[in-house]
Structure 1
Amino acid sequence: MSDEKVKIFERALQRERKARKQAEEILEQKSLELFEANQKLTASNKKTEALLNDQTAQLKLIVDNSSLGIVLSQKNNLIKFNKAFANLLGYTDDELLNVNIYELSHPDDLPQAKKQLKLLEESKIDKFLIKKRYRKKDGNYVSCNTNVSAVRDNEGNVKYHIALIEDVSEIDKKTRMLNALNSLSVSILGKRDLNEIAWEIAKNTANHLDLEDCLVFSIDYESNIIKEIAAYSNNPDIDITKKPPLHIPIGKGVIGKVVETGVYSLVNDTSKNDLYEVDDFFRFSELTVPIIADNKVIGIIDSEHSKKNYFNNDHIEVFHNIASLASAQFNSAISLIKEKKTQKEKDVLLVQLGKNNEELKNFAHVVSHDLKSPLRSMSALISWIQEDNEGTFDEETTVNFNSLLKKIDKMDHLINGILKYSSIDKIDKTDQKVDLQKTVTDIIDTIFVPEHINIQIKNTLPIIYGDKFRLQQLFQNLISNAIKYNDKEKGIITIEVEDLDIKFLFIIKDNGIGIDKKYHSKIFEVFETLEEPNDDSTGIGLSIVKKIIDLYNGKIWLESELGKGCSFFFELKKPH
């Protein structure tokens, strides 16, 4: 309910109270005038009897047709009352006659009522207005505004009490509902803990609407469970805190059905409803309203009552307003729980990542020291054997020894590749301006380029921020790959760049053997090579390229057709 609607509602209540008060005062004044006139006419002569009867008829007409309860009492015993008062309490005339007014009053209201009546007896006041509760025949109490006036005899003593009684239970109910919304709004303001918000919803709803209990649930869609997160009871005989929280499968029972459909449920007689399930003990009425955010049920407000037909449209409206009011805070608290869970998982992953990095460093040390050293020894030993037996080995043995040396050399290259890959993001480098035109030109001048390979830089390469060593490694690996896998008589490799506003798109294209489409998705993974790899290939070069581009938050992909060549595309951000 918006603040504007609340203000309109409050002004309407004020106007209604003012109008009723004026009517009471007019009716009270008229009643006193007629009553006093009746006394005077009785003491007068019979000539005025016709006028007296006429005014008595007027008084009876007003009293009988009044919507207010009108009571005449003497010494606190009822001696006269109208139908409105009898109907209000549900008694017959005979049942009310001569009943002491105290017997119909709520015990908590008696001290204040007796105090005001004493002031009337002592002539310190002539009338008073009090709000009190009257016991109905069914045992319930109805809240009323009671305007009591004294009728005195000639000596000033109180002879009768006249009371005008207005039923304000509906106004009280609406006021309580309004207070519930206002109180809840204040109590959950700024709260982000889901259990705290749920507790405030349950407590405020139960207290302000005089409910027997109120439960709040959250929805765990991953486990398909509705979880009770707050419960409040106004029944002193029930300690709801000792009851284990309910866990209900989505779709089961009244609550499960509301979560499933997103539509509220009002059950006036649970004994006739197949979906109703007994919790701690049986109750006849149940009202269940969903809390909805972004068209999804995120929570439930549920209340049960021991009487049939207890909940009405006013309750439904207030429950919906409470659910709507709490929705944003409820949803925010759920998001916070998810954030904390994600952060916790992230922290665990970071710890694990730290361990993995440490293990990787140890692995790199093992590779560089414990593996390379034996390889060097093996290479030296084979070379000595070849020298010592020069001219002795037959052709097959010589080929085998040379093949063995090549395998050892490839193993050495592989180990170097692993070291480069594992350390590429561990080297602490300071970014600086790097002239890629000069860097790529230096690479072409430095590496071995066969005579049948022609490398062209089609347009001027830009200056970007980065680590010169990594960027040099990036371009050198891609250019070397293009040279290594070119089987054409006239090999052509082109390098160009496109300006894409906030980033540069680089394209390195060759007319080599190409890459089969089935390898496109995994060519950048470590140790991935083609089915018929080059003897010098380690399967690490492109994975190093991918890792360097990832360090700069870039992106790389390729387009290739087998036998016609390959084009590598990668993006790097422009310097700020």
Structure 2
Amino acid sequence: MKGELEAERIINEFAMSLLEQSTVDEVVWDVAKNCIARLHFVDCVVYQLDRQRNVLVQKAAHGPKNPTGHVILHPIEIPAGVGIVGEVARTGQPEVIGNTALDKRYIADDAVRNSEITVPIWVNGQVWGVLDAEHPQANFFQPQHLKILTTVAALCSQKIKQVEMEEAYRRAERQLMETNRRVAETKLTALRMQMNPHFIFNSLNSINKFILQNDGERASDLLTKFSRLIRQVLINSRAEWVSLRNELNVLQIYLELERLRSDNKFDILFSISDDLNLDMVHVPLLITQPYVENAIWHGLLPMQGGKPQLQIQCRQEKDRLIIDIEDNGIGRAASARLQANSLTAHKTHGIAITEERLNLINEMYGADARITICDRYKAGSTPTGTHVCFTQKLTSF
């Protein structure tokens, strides 16, 4: 009874120790160490069967083979079916050798020892490896040792299966995350490529107007500005993020083109706070242009009286970038009525693209970027324009 209780205690200690291991390497090294510490063996080696080469490879050891850490001194390989270890791997049956001198299969490793015990480790219906221990004393290993090691091998098998399943799950999860990242990046690129032709097309309309009117001087002025615009857009379009300075440069050129096209019908007021580092802060490419375009086309140009005005303000509030776009135009309600009554209404899809881009950018980069649009009113609920606010975390590279 005392021997059975002791065996149960040792097995429980093995089981508790295995619970703390999270990789296959940790599992086999823990088993090898505990065989020495708890069973008072002289040495212990855990072999793994390399199925492609059909050889047993030493994966963990304790005793003279293990001078320090997770290091095996002069590791050896044993073909399956060769030696006592190889035979146990082939048959899947444990063996206890009382006197190795009488067994021709015995293969000495670091030293000749007189007794050996070898137990297979089964995983998913196949021999995964072998747990092997030796002792200089003949007939050292008793039936109790075999019972304990057989149970330990079964515990090791269960833990290896659990760890391999968890590792496979993590690999699949990483692969899925990588796939999703690639899909998101591809989609962002596609959306960005939609944005650039859309942006360029609207600018070309500005030039086309003066060409049709045979106004060479103004057409030449527009072409000069347009060439600068194209150059900057092409430079910026290589990346999803651009410096705030580059973004504002493109926006200013675009505004100059639209203002010339409309015969300087509206004024532009730019305001940039001094504490903003325009070269360090980065924003998604062309993130504000669709809203500026919308303010011009649907808010300012339809005005019948007063001086249309567009204000753009860039500032910093704590750890966030704020870009305010305000116009004193006719407001969204009046603009919607005009478009509903017009057979040739200008319908921009840039805003829809930008909203989709922002969702993807937030998922991929955690930028917490947002766009809010508010109507402005004066006393008596008369519309006085629209306020668009873009905000995101201060992002620098």
What is the TM-score normalised by the length of structure 2?
A: 0.41
Higher RCO structure (Cα 8 Å, ≥6 apart): 2
The structure number with the bigger radius of gyration is 1
TM-score after normalising by structure 1: 0.29
